[in-house]
Chains A and B, each alone.
Chain A
């Protein structure tokens, strides 16, 4: 009861202080919020509902290993054991940063809806989308017109924190080629699926693949389907091409 009163007071304070920067931090310190205006309310014993606006709103969740930035975010956080984001809808241009044990993944899109359960975390993206995965061995950049990114739900998941992602629209990936000195490979198509546990990126629909000057790969044009096979460092080890149902 005491908690509810405190939060209600805080909410009122937040409304009153609209247009001024406010911050919210949960008890454990695992989640922090910064916004220009908004509402934070305890909707049940283990759930906090937040409606936030800012330039941008920043929600940082240590237990999710995730930071979400957007001009407008509606977020439901679970506070039962460890405070984690249950759902967050970010609009007006979202920027999500997921940390992993071996790097991080930086995602930007027009809107993003993040949902997380104990086993999985999903970020549904719309509009022009960019996913940049960084590790000590290089950077992989993927762009598309929206899709879904499945993130590691734990604070420090394996790799760069991105498990799988599917993007549609004109898609493009640029990644480092293994055993080269500065070689990168760029692939474009109409659909792209990253599967980090399987170490593959699959592109389909009029796929073109090109290596840069330092790459040992040439130019591939108009393939139906291309699988970029990644090594354990996320670098491209080989390119598998299929077209027209080969014999």
Chain B
């Protein structure tokens, strides 16, 4: 029997090769478009199509525009992106850069990613021990102003803002048992500010304090699985005219005022709230552990488990 051999391009192998060509070309093109303007230690300025900069012993002052520009400080896992950037960075005592002040506009964002910081530390052999958890927090706004030190920073946004924070890992309890945790927090507001830790412990939320003016929306999920136990999942979402949080001291609270709605499902509390003022107390993984309703609750159906 005579066998017919297909042209190579019509075989699966051949097609794969042909398909790989534009893919590779696109990848090359995408890679080629990233222009690194300046790099030193953990600090990289890239994507600037026009810019002025002053490079000195202690740091860098920069001003420019790109589509977009990217400012990266790997030691803290901080990445700033935007169309326009005007700011200064400075070196700390270890030679790592931190953002001292900046105004970023045009789909501006700032993220703090503990995985990026860990990878940089591993490359430098500063730390090779894998952390128990990872966290990433991203703040996005059309424009924000930042002021900071090597340990923390403050972001102010005159316009709409979106904050996404997530972390997961293994926590060690007081009795030395372990709990796997994962949490997600999503906030939106019309304006406001946040303060954050630049060098938060891996797995910990870098969010310290913040205030958002409304309309504010929020949602979150917190999963915890004790060693040998079952998954406990808590979800919450809602709206308010104003939201304030303070995670720097105990009890950690999220305070919401004006036309507050809250829907929660979980072992700590389940139900719906519609009230003037609500204070949610959260644990270190931002899992709601207590809900206080104040003012004039218009309609509330809530079941709270008694504290253990």
Contact = CB atoms under 8 A, between A and B. Distances in A.
Given A221-B36, A241-B55, A243-B49, 5 more contacts: A216-B91, A218-B39, A238-B54, A238-B56, A239-B53
Contact of B84 (A218, A237, A247): A247
Of B40, B84, B95, most buried by chain A (CB within 10 Å of CB) is B40
Contacts of A240: 52-55
A246 B51 contact: yes
Contacts of A211: 40
B53 A219 contact: no
A9 interface: no
B15 interface: no
25 contacts: A178-B57, A179-B57, A216-B40, A216-B57, A216-B91, A216-B95, A217-B55, A218-B39, A218-B43, A218-B55, A219-B39, A219-B40, A220-B37, A221-B36, A221-B37, A238-B55, A240-B52, A240-B55, A241-B37, A241-B38, A241-B53, A241-B55, A243-B50, A244-B64, A246-B63
A223 B57 contact: no
A136 interface: no
A237 B55 CA distance: 9
A184 to B, nearest CB: 14
Contacts of A242: 51-53
Contacts of B58: 216
A88 B172 CA distance: 83
A221 B166 CA distance: 35
Interface of A: 177-180, 209, 211, 216-223, 237-247
Contacts of B65: 246-247
Interface string B186-230: 000000000000000000000000000000000000000000000
Contacts of B64: 243-244, 246-247
A183 to B, nearest CB: 9
A219 B37 CA distance: 8
Nearest to B97: A218
A219 B57 CA distance: 13
A198 to B, nearest CB: 16
Contacts of A217: 40, 55
A246 B37 contact: no
Of A211, A219, A244, A246, most buried by chain B (CB within 10 Å of CB) is A246
Contacts of A209: 55
A246 B48 CA distance: 9
B35 interface: yes
Contacts of A180: 57
B122 interface: no
B11 interface: no
Nearest to B91: A216
B38 A219 contact: yes
A239 B51 contact: no
Nearest to B43: A218
B41 interface: yes
A79 B266 CA distance: 102
A223 B62 CA distance: 13
B50 A245 contact: yes
A239 B54 CA distance: 5
Contacts of B53: 239-242
Contact of A244 (B40, B49, B57): B49
Contacts of B41: 218
Contacts of B48: 243-244
A178 B56 CA distance: 10
Of B35, B36, B49, B53, most buried by chain A (CB within 10 Å of CB) is B53
A237 B56 contact: yes
Interface in B90-120: 91, 95
A24 B40 CA distance: 56
Contacts of A219: 36, 38-40
Interface string B237-263: 000000000000000000000000000
A218 B95 CA distance: 12
A220 B62 CA distance: 13
Nearest to A227: B54
Contacts of A239: 53-56
A196 to B, nearest CB: 20
B53 to A, nearest CB: 4
A243 B51 contact: yes
Nearest 4 interchain pairs by C-beta: A218-B40, A244-B50, A239-B55, A241-B53
Interface string B59-76: 000011100000000000
B49 to A, nearest CB: 5
Contact of B51 (A216, A218, A238, A241): A241
Nearest to B36: A221
Contacts of B49: 243-244
